A and B are shown apart, each in its own frame.
Chain A
Amino acid sequence: MEELANLFHGFAVALMPFNILVMVIGIVLGVIIGVLPGLGGANGVAILLPLTFSMPPTSAIIMLSCIYWGALFGGAITSILFNIPGEPWSVATTFDGYPMAQKGKAGEALTAAFTSSFVGALFAIIMITLVAPLVARFALEFGPAEKFAVYFLAFCSFVGLSKEPPFKTVAAMMLGFALAAVGLDSMTGQLRLTFGFTEMLNGFDFLIAVIGLFGIGEILLTMEDGLSFRGNNAKINLRVVLHTWKELPRYWMTSLRSSVIGCWMGITPAGATPASFMSYGIAKRVSKNGKNFGQGEIEGVIAPETAAHAAGTAALLPMLSLGVPGSPTAAVLLGGLLIWGLQPGPMLFVEQKEFVWGLIASMYLGNVVGLLIVLTCVPIFAAILRIPFSIVAPLILVLCAIGAYSVHNSTFDVMLMLVFGVIGYLLKKCNYPLAPLVLAIVLGDKAEEAFRQSLLASQGALGVFFSNGLVGTIMALGLIALFWSPINEGFTRLRSAATGRPRPAGPDYE
């Protein structure tokens, strides 16, 4: 009960006119940051952090967290319209969002993405409001072995997703692992695969690879197809929003499942990117329309967006209650808290009630404000697709180049992006799936790190991955996900043998 009273007090704080103004500014800035590929929420928040020093801490954190929500919303826009993920967690949104846009359903895809983001965030905020202390303790259970198990699950739930032959998937994934290994080896402190080039010290940044593979690769493909967007018949009025809303409740199960996955990933803290991939993978397995995923299925937009936003929001919980950021952006916010003299950790909820509940209340309000802002802009975004390709393509190219440059302020990265663009084009032409490659670049080094930390701690014994109930369960889930197709097929055969009735061959997703 005391929590509720605190929350209402928090609403009173967040609803002060100055704080609402700060909220709107934050959301708009965040959407812009989210749209620009490469700039990223973490960089955006870091750049704007010093500007907030002259504000009261509560207003400052409201502004910064609203930038974060805005970036989460904004990441979906370029993914759907141009197949360029503005943020890492939007990669999975491109799989179905972009095909939808090509079919002239950009408005529907954007509405679904924004609404799902809101639903995911709302779910996570309610969870934070109700069970914050409990959940924080759960996060402490996660050592290196448990973290590796989570990454393992993410990879496994993704293998066999694509329509391409499994060996092509594995080949693409291995290429991703190899690229992820370049740079400093965090376990031994030595440089790997840099061949003496100082430009390679940083390794291949995920964002540069993604901007190149998806953005530039897509432009090359479109040029080959005859220089036209296929989505120019998109409806551009607000009625499309209402129309899509009527459809969305049908997918409540997907939303709920994705929210749970997102919250779990945000707290553990694996982050929004694996959450979106895992949620997409599982939705594809479980959904009735799983076969159509990748061709513009609205569920394929709902699943990753809900999970990403739920994870992004839930990631703030370990930051506040434990002082461990669940995402790079949360890490920058953490730095901000320290500068304002607020010490995140177990005592924050006790000693700084006004601040914590003001922040939580602003999460509710910030997301509502954000949803309203982005939804009213849906027709504007969709109208972009009506501009002729020959005008938009150079703009996208410039946007990509700025994005790649702003990751490390390095022109070398812009070259690298172009190389990745050519690689992306070639891989697509040869029917190699890009998603496993991207997943491996994002999570490859983290998975490797967790694996080697576990083995260091266990002095080399592999049993550490089954040493307690938690890690054992996650590993088992991963193995089931990996061998789901053969297992399912076996069951189908057994059943048909038992009833004596032949069933259609192939995996049965129903």
Chain B
Amino acid sequence: MKGGVTRLASGVIAAICIAGSGVPANAAWQPTRPVEFIVPAGTGGGADQMARTLQGIVTKYNLMKQPLVVVNKSGGAGGEGFLDVKMAANNPHKIIITLSNLFTTPLATGIPFGWKDLTPVAMLALDEFVLWVNAEKPYKTAKDFVDALKKAPPGSVKLGGTGSKQEDQIITVALEKATGAKLTYIPYKGGGEVAVQLVGNHIDATVNNPIEAVAQWRGGKLRPLCVFDAKPMDYGEPIADGQAWKDVPTCKSQGLDIEYLMLRGIFMGPKATPDQVAYYVDLFNKVRDTPEWKDFMKNGAFNTTFMTGADFAKWVETEDKRHETLMREAGFLAQGN
């Protein structure tokens, strides 16, 4: 009992000290209760995997005094999760990880939300997109594939992807524009399913993220043709037939002038204060230094660009404009937008 009283007393004293010292700005804020980590997508998907890896690393290295709890709010292509964080304006114990649906969902569905309703915290990584075909097919390069595409009757080439009017379909429309061919886009629920449909030859090509298709590449079932990035990926470890991620050429070098990367970033509610944001930035910096995180980045061949503060906000703003243009051109905007 005595110990309890002493602890209580010292706690009170500490509290008075902090209150009395006028709270030095930055780095003073700490979570006082469990932090909810919203995933605006289903369990098992790319964002979910990243969130749960993060949670595991935070738990393993004891990086937070309070628990970090992952909550999936996937309704309405993630709209449910975004609206939840928007409503939690004064709650610093709620953060959200985003996919490209940060931009596409409000545009396609017309839900009352935009990225400006959130406070950007940090860009954790960018997810790459790769053009994949079945390894049995004769196309060895993106150029072979595009030539075949141009010869095929319009609409006969089927491209599978995750979700409707989301990133995969945006790339499909860009492909159509770049090649002048007409493709049939078939939406599926998840990236792993898309990869297997390609292995089973039910579709002709995909733009899967590396992590979704790498197992099938290693198994010799799929072949990567090009990556939709400005430069080749960094990872030099051989994966299949002596080929590594860095040997996959950029689509631009293959005559397909398309670039698309998906944001894996962290946001908070609209009224987050600078010291709260600083706390989370510091946390993610610690996470990025762990070997587990580096392994995770390598396994998924992520682009590890890290951004915070004004740089990140500016990046998000540019991307938002770009998505609006892309979605408008593709006719994907909800009525009344």
Chain A contact residues, CB within 8 Å of chain B: 42-43, 46, 49-51, 53-54, 139-144, 183-191, 194, 198, 201-203, 318, 322-325, 328, 331-332, 334-336, 338-339, 341, 343-348, 408-409, 449, 453, 456-457, 459
Contacts and interface: CB of A to CB of B under 8 A. Distances in A.
Given A191-B76, A198-B111, A323 B215 contact: yes
A326 to B, nearest CB: 11
Interface in B47-92: 48-49, 52-53, 55-57, 59-60, 70-77, 79-80, 83
Contact of B75 (A142, A201, A345): A201
A503 B202 CA distance: 50
A46 B53 CA distance: 11
Nearest to B215: A345
Contacts of A139: 196
Contacts of B76: 183-184, 191, 194, 198, 201-202
Q: Is the interface of B mostly helix, strand, loop or mixed?
A: mixed
A203 B196 CA distance: 28
Contacts of A187: 164, 187
B295 interface: yes
A385 to B, nearest CB: 35
Contacts, number: 162
A201 B55 CA distance: 27
B219 A346 contact: yes
B221 interface: yes
Interface of B: 42-44, 48-49, 52-53, 55-57, 59-60, 70-77, 79-80, 83, 108-111, 155-156, 158, 163-166, 184-190, 192-193, 195-197, 199-200, 202-203, 211, 214-216, 218-221, 292, 295-296, 299, 332, 334
A346 B221 contact: yes
A338 B187 contact: no
B215 A334 contact: no
State the main secondary structure of chain A at its contact with B: helix
A50 B52 contact: yes
A214 to B, nearest CB: 23
B218 A189 contact: no
A432 to B, nearest CB: 28
Contacts of B108: 189-190
B163 A186 contact: yes
A114 to B, nearest CB: 27
Given A190-B108, A343-B218, A346-B218, A338 B60 contact: no
B53 A339 contact: yes
A344 B212 CA distance: 10
A335 B218 contact: no
A457 B215 contact: no
A338 B164 CA distance: 26
Given A141-B200, A190-B334, A202-B76, 4 more contacts: A53-B292, A185-B164, A189-B108, A201-B75
A143 B218 contact: no
A347 B219 contact: yes
26 contacts: A43-B43, A50-B56, A51-B59, A53-B292, A140-B200, A183-B76, A184-B76, A184-B79, A186-B187, A189-B109, A189-B187, A190-B108, A201-B83, A318-B196, A323-B192, A324-B195, A328-B43, A328-B44, A332-B43, A334-B192, A335-B48, A335-B49, A345-B218, A345-B219, A408-B80, A457-B202
Nearest to A453: B186
A345 B216 contact: yes
Contact of A459 (B57, B184, B195): B184
A104 B71 CA distance: 41
A296 to B, nearest CB: 37
A21 B83 CA distance: 43
B215 A198 contact: no
Contacts of B195: 323-324
Q: Which 4 A-B pairs have the closest CB atoms?
A: A345-B215, A346-B219, A331-B44, A202-B75
A50 B44 contact: no
Contacts of A142: 200
B216 A50 contact: no
A188 B184 contact: no
A141 B200 CA distance: 6
Contacts of B57: 53
Contacts of B163: 186, 189
A68 B72 CA distance: 19
B60 A54 contact: yes
B286 to A, nearest CB: 16
A188 B196 contact: no
A363 to B, nearest CB: 20
A328 B44 CA distance: 8
B189 A202 contact: no
A150 B70 CA distance: 34
A438 to B, nearest CB: 20
B216 A323 contact: yes
Contacts of A190: 108-109, 334
Contacts of B203: 457
Contacts of A194: 76
B196 A140 contact: yes
A192 B250 CA distance: 39
Q: Which of B55, B196, B296 has the most CB of A within 10 A?
A: B196
A143 B200 contact: yes
A338 B56 contact: no
Nearest to B58: A50
Given A189-B164, A201-B79, A335-B49, A346 B200 contact: no
